[in-house]
Chains A and B, each alone.
Chain A
Amino acid sequence: MTDVAIRVENISKQYRIGLAQSRPDTLRDLLVSGIQRIRDVVRRKGDGRYDSPSHIWALKDVSFEVKQGQVLGIVGRNGAGKSTLLKILSRVTHPTKGYGEIHGRVGSLLEVGTGFHPELSGRENIFLNGAILGMRREEINRKFDEIVAFSEVGKFIDTPVKRYSSGMYLRLAFAVAAHLEPEILVVDEVLAVGDAEFQRKCLGKMNDVAQEGRTVLFVSHNMSAILRLTQETIVLDAGQIVMRGPTPEAVDHYLNMGLTKQGERNWTPEELSGTIGSFQPIALRVLNTQGRVVDTVTAAEGFTIEFKYNLSEPISGLRVGLYMMTTRGEYIFTTFDTDDPAVFESLTVRAAGRYVSRCSIPPNLMNEGRFILGVNASVYRIKRYFQDDKALTFTVDATGAPGMHWPEKRLGSVRPKLDWKIEVVNNNDE
């Protein structure tokens, strides 16, 4: 079979838990672990490297094949192993076990703007970033005008990028990456940043790439992007492939995975091992008007969504937000706890400690049905501390909602109670 672009067999990757949390290793740790190792040997524990409780498998026995020219989506929740898989495929890290082969030049886009230096001008960064991504200078020269045109930074091309707006910065970074021409492109969540216009443009470019017959592996939390760009998708969970199938089916499977949670989602430290930072989510809960944690709320009464989290160090400009989504992954609304400018101004820095951000959903807003709640903690344009696009699902019951005297299913995700006036208009008055 010569038309295989990627084949991996039983790829596994093991990480030490807590590696990201603890301070970088020091010589003291080395001494301590050295003593432990000697003790282990003395007690004939043998090689405790595999399956010891202090190690986790980020990927376990993952096997799949991608044909030349195929566009394959990869979905899975945080910590499912998506990024680890892409890192292995782009050779950033080595698998602990398993075997894989890749036929062709791989361009990986695990992040836009890798290696961008704020002090350098846009022009200089194009060359630097291009070289880092594996382009030849002659190739960059050839595509330079095209890149500048795509990025729309125009006359600012000789300005240091630290003076760019975040939109310009992202556009330039993506423009360089988009002009890579590898046979195989590996893309991780690059569309998760930037404004709607930028995302639209990126999606368009990704679509072009897919049309050109290149092999693309595409990871995203954005289900509509996955649906639009890919025909086939792999669903990863806990480091294993739980499903591979046509994209609509796979997305459906993914979104309905683990929907048994009862109105509450708690994060365990193990789950967060890959993403830990100064923000640690603790729990997300849906509460009814009596303050009880419930899986089903009544639309007519309104309800409260409560997000509990811990900050291990002060964060300035933090915003903690919720996404409300349908089970098909369409966004209904996004809201942040510092949406009110007055609140945002007064809460410039959140000190370390435990917090609860509560959001009241007014009565008569949601339509009946099953909904997905996502959470996000970020500092606008600076950093995303945490994101889980499907942290929790819950059901809205329509009892008492407007128009319930007609027992039909209403279209749409919201069912607001709106003001209607009915007037009689006499023909004579006209």
Chain B
Amino acid sequence: MKNNQQSRQQTPVIYLQPSKGWLSINFKEIWRYRELVYFLTWRDIKVRYKQAVLGIAWAVLQPLLTTLIFTVIFGNLLKTPSQDIPYPLFTLTALLPWQLFATALQRSSISLVGNANLITKIYFPRLVIPLSSVMAALVDFSVSFVVLLGVMAYYRYWPGWNILWLPLIILLALLTALSVGLWLSALNVQYRDIQHMVPFIVQVWMYASPIVYSIDTIPGGIWRWLYGLNPMVGVIQGFRWAMLGGDPPDITMAFSVGMVLILLISGLFYFRRMEKTFADIV
């Protein structure tokens, strides 16, 4: 009985009331639901490769095949300059962070609608859903990262101490995907036009990032600054530098980081604001 009394005093009280305006973000609650993030991430990965004959090998094949295509077209036919790095290696070091970003973005923007059955039946912080989609992309990335190491070994490139920056650069790529994913997934709940736009956005964004061409192609000064507003410019530049060395990221990196922060904070607030209506309109 006494025990009961004690546990009663600890019981959390949940308040139900109309929520208005901008809600603060309850990071503590998201932390409490970390296991759900884990399980949803795990489900995404498991399901994605469950009935594919080649399974996780796709994570290897995709960047390799794309590298092959880009090398033939942009490297051999168009002779795109590649900062004195062998073209396949040049483009692969960009494709890796790019595909991490693109997969994370694509999956997270449709994630809320794809999990409508959960949203309408169970309570949990809705942020868990786009978050776990982004995390799932990290698994593919880890697999294809091994491929990159193989290709680097083939061209006799060894990463230097710069590689220590890699986790931060990967984090930047994930945050970029998350911030845009937050906006798009919340918008997609109401406007399904978004899911038709996403492939197009990704395609345009890819050519707006230094993947097939070098950043040196972009004239310096104001143009380079504007170019840096694309956060993936910083990510790709940083990733290449961390793996292959060469010129360290310049001022564009600062623009990229700043842009991600703006997108992320606004995305979080927009998401939180729309969150309360997801179950009613999804």
Residues of A within 8 A of B119 (CB): 92
User: Any chain B CB within 8 A of the CB of A239?
Assistant: no
A25 lies within 8 A of B191 (CB)? yes
Q: Known contacts being A26-B193, A111-B121, is A105 close to B276, with CB within 8 Å?
A: no
Find residues 27-52 in chain B having any chain A CB closer than 8 Å to their own CB: 35-36, 38-40, 42-43, 46-47, 50-51
Residues of A within 8 A of B203 (CB): none
User: Any chain A CB within 8 A of the CB of B17?
Assistant: yes
B50 lies within 8 A of A88 (CB)? no
B11 lies within 8 A of A120 (CB)? no
Q: Known contacts being A26-B191, A91-B14, A137-B35, is A132 close to B118, with CB within 8 Å?
A: yes
> Interface residue count for A (Cβ, 8 Å)?
50
Residues of A within 8 A of B43 (CB): 117, 120, 124, 128
Question: A183 is contacted by which of B11, B123, B190, B280 (Cβ under 8 Å)?
Answer: B11
Q: Known contacts being A115-B117, A120-B43, is A132 close to B18, with CB within 8 Å?
A: no
A114 lies within 8 A of B18 (CB)? no
| Chain A residue nearest to B37 in the complex (CB) | A131
A25 lies within 8 A of B281 (CB)? yes
- A117-B39 Cα distance, complex, nearest whole Å: 12
Question: A91 is contacted by which of B117, B123, B192 (Cβ under 8 Å)?
Answer: B123
A132 lies within 8 A of B39 (CB)? yes
B121 lies within 8 A of A114 (CB)? yes
Find residues 102-142 in chain A having any chain B CB closer than 8 Å to their own CB: 102-106, 108, 110-111, 114-115, 117, 119-120, 124, 127-128, 131-134, 136-137
User: Any chain B CB within 8 A of the CB of A95?
Assistant: yes
Question: A26 is contacted by which of B38, B51, B192 (Cβ under 8 Å)?
Answer: B192
Find residues 106-126 in chain B having any chain A CB closer than 8 Å to their own CB: 117-124
- Which B residues form the contact surface with A (CB < 8 A)? 8, 11-19, 35-36, 38-40, 42-43, 46-47, 50-51, 117-124, 190-193, 276, 279-281
- A128-B41 Cα distance, complex, nearest whole Å: 10
User: How far is the CB of B8 from the nearest CB of chain A, in Å?
Assistant: 6
- How many residue pairs link A and B with beta carbons under 8 A? The number is 122
- Cβ contacts A4-34/B at 8 Å (1 or 0 each): 0000100100010001000011110010000
Residues of A within 8 A of B15 (CB): 99-102
Residues of B within 8 A of A15 (CB): 280
Q: A90-B123, A124-B46 are in contact. List 15 more A-B contacts (CB 8 A).
A: A24-B191, A27-B193, A91-B16, A92-B119, A100-B15, A100-B16, A102-B14, A111-B121, A115-B122, A120-B50, A131-B38, A132-B36, A132-B39, A132-B124, A134-B124
A98 lies within 8 A of B46 (CB)? no
B16 lies within 8 A of A8 (CB)? yes
Residues of A within 8 A of B35 (CB): 131, 136-137
A95 lies within 8 A of B117 (CB)? no
User: How far is the CB of A6 from the nearest CB of chain B, in Å?
Assistant: 9
- Cβ contacts A21-57/B at 8 Å (1 or 0 each): 0001111001000000000000000000000000000
B16 lies within 8 A of A87 (CB)? no
- Which A residues form the contact surface with B (CB < 8 A)? 2, 8, 11, 15, 19, 24-27, 30, 68, 87-106, 108, 110-111, 114-115, 117, 119-120, 124, 127-128, 131-134, 136-137, 160, 183
B192 lies within 8 A of A24 (CB)? yes
User: How far is the CB of A227 from the nearest CB of chain B, in Å?
Assistant: 27
B123 lies within 8 A of A108 (CB)? yes
Q: Known contacts being A115-B122, A128-B43, is A25 close to B190, with CB within 8 Å?
A: yes
B122 lies within 8 A of A110 (CB)? yes
Question: A92 is contacted by which of B11, B122, B192 (Cβ under 8 Å)?
Answer: B122
B279 lies within 8 A of A103 (CB)? no
User: How far is the CB of B90 from the nearest CB of chain A, in Å?
Assistant: 38
| Chain B residue nearest to A160 in the complex (CB) | B50
- A335-B119 Cα distance, complex, nearest whole Å: 35
User: How far is the CB of A59 from the nearest CB of chain B, in Å?
Assistant: 12
- A136-B43 Cα distance, complex, nearest whole Å: 16
Q: Known contacts being A119-B50, A131-B36, A132-B36, is A94 close to B16, with CB within 8 Å?
A: yes
- A407-B87 Cα distance, complex, nearest whole Å: 101
25 contacts between A and B (CB under 8 A): A8-B16, A30-B190, A89-B16, A90-B122, A90-B123, A91-B16, A91-B123, A92-B120, A93-B279, A94-B16, A99-B15, A99-B17, A100-B16, A102-B14, A103-B11, A103-B13, A105-B11, A119-B50, A120-B47, A128-B42, A131-B35, A132-B36, A132-B39, A132-B124, A183-B11
- A240-B21 Cα distance, complex, nearest whole Å: 28
Residues of A within 8 A of B117 (CB): 114-115
Residues of B within 8 A of A8 (CB): 16
- A191-B192 Cα distance, complex, nearest whole Å: 34
B16 lies within 8 A of A106 (CB)? no
Residues of B within 8 A of A131 (CB): 35-36, 38-40
Question: A27 is contacted by which of B16, B120, B191 (Cβ under 8 Å)?
Answer: B191
- A98-B192 Cα distance, complex, nearest whole Å: 31
| Chain A residue nearest to B10 in the complex (CB) | A104
Q: Known contacts being A105-B12, A131-B39, is A93 close to B121, with CB within 8 Å?
A: no
- A354-B63 Cα distance, complex, nearest whole Å: 53
Residues of A within 8 A of B12 (CB): 103-105
A119 lies within 8 A of B122 (CB)? no
- A42-B201 Cα distance, complex, nearest whole Å: 37
- A134-B191 Cα distance, complex, nearest whole Å: 30
User: How far is the CB of B234 from the nearest CB of chain A, in Å?
Assistant: 31
Residues of A within 8 A of B36 (CB): 131-132
- A119-B280 Cα distance, complex, nearest whole Å: 28
B16 lies within 8 A of A95 (CB)? yes
B121 lies within 8 A of A102 (CB)? no
- A96-B36 Cα distance, complex, nearest whole Å: 28
Which of B17, B40, B118, B121 neighbours the largest number of chain A CB atoms within 10 Å of its CB?
B121
A92 lies within 8 A of B279 (CB)? yes
Residues of A within 8 A of B42 (CB): 128
A99 lies within 8 A of B122 (CB)? no
| Chain A residue nearest to B14 in the complex (CB) | A102
Question: A94 is contacted by which of B40, B124, B192, B276 (Cβ under 8 Å)?
Answer: B276
